[in-house]
Amino acid sequence: MTLTRRSFTVLAVASFAMPAFAATEPRWFNAGDDLATSGRDVVAYFSLGNEDGVMGSDAHSTEHKGTIFHFANAENLATFKADPDKYAPRFGGYCAFAMSKGYFAPGDPDAWTVHEGALYLNASKAIRARWALRRASHIASGDTNWMTHFPGER
């Protein structure tokens, strides 16, 4: 019985501490290059089929919520500037599957999905396939978990 109480206490403390630790993650995932989606053009995803992301360039870039976004051309840059929250990846570019489970994991800009007008990244194409099996519930869980880390943010 003592072991059960002790285990419960440890789990309770960990569940309250987890958001505090996780909140130290940056708002945007980057792979050490200080670029959202490792420099991929987030607007281009909305017109791609199933290909890998399109690289942007320094010539067409802007800052949004503290991170740099690159675009393949001036048209995509202008489209992004007109409505950046529509095109920026959900969950800050972190893995959507991981966020649905309550933790942060790197998002792979080539393991992407556009669903109901929003861009999601996953840690890999295999994880993306798992995430897609229960996409709606994973998105709902991810939204809830994201809001505990970044209240008021999309």
**Residue 25: is its pLDDT beyond 50?**
yes
Top-confidence residue, 51 or 68: 68
Q: Which residues contact 11 (CB under 8 A, 6 or more apart)?
A: none
For 22-45, what is the mean pLDDT?
82
For 5-19, what is the mean pLDDT?
41
pLDDT score of 28: 85
CB 43 within 8 Å of CB 76: yes
pLDDT score of 11: 38
**Residue 48: is its pLDDT beyond 70?**
yes
Beta strand extents in 14-137 (DSSP E only): 57-64, 67-71, 108-115, 118-122
Top-confidence residue, 62 or 151: 62
pLDDT score of 137: 97
Q: 50-59 contacts: CB < 8 A, separation 24 or more? A: 52/109, 52/110, 53/109, 53/110, 53/112
Q: How confident is the model at residue 20 (pLDDT cuts 50, 70, 90)?
A: very low
